[in-house]
Amino acid sequence: MNSLTNRPTFPTQSLAHWIQRFFDNDWMAAPATSRLPAALTGDVMPAVNLGETDKEVTVSVELPGLEEKDIDVSWSGNQLCIKAERKFEAEKKEKHYHYVESQYGTFARTLVMPEGLKRDQVDARFKNGVLTLTIPKVEPTPATKVKVKAG
């Protein structure tokens, strides 16, 4: 388990399961705009990396082929929501594709974040197809001593 997301770090289904789903789909008969097998369209998400230091948490998401206008980042409670959409390139529809492996469509990732983050100070940068979010941590309040008086 990853301590930041409370999610398993490995896929919950075996490789054999994914291979079987791949070959069970009649995906070559589908139109060019939906030829990616169902095993890959709904279940595969972009790679997310989470890092942490004493001062901040860093989230990086691989989003090749997108632009910053295609990406939406928001908070809901302690959950960080990242949404994006990659559209099928309509200008190429006059071509008859024999094979399409490019992924397109809408995806959303929701990450449960630890307490003590400055949610209003997120630095979001998008460069070379990678979205990097840097979220500073709240500085811990120093302990204060309370003087106990008699009677």
Q: Which residue has the higher pLDDT, 28 or 132?
A: 132
With a threshold of 0.75, does the pTM exceed it?
Answer: no
For residue range 17-48, what is the model confidence (pLDDT) as tens digits?
666 666 665 544 444 444 444 444 444 578 89
For residue range 34-85, what is the model confidence (pLDDT) as tens digits?
444 444 444 457 889 999 999 999 999 998 888 899 999 999 999 999 998 8
The residue whose two tokens read 């400055």 is 118
Query: What pLDDT, on a 0 to 100 scale, did the predictor assign at position 28?
Result: 46
137: left (phi over 0), alpha (psi -120 to 50) or beta: beta
Query: What pLDDT, on a 0 to 100 scale, did the predictor assign at position 112?
Result: 92
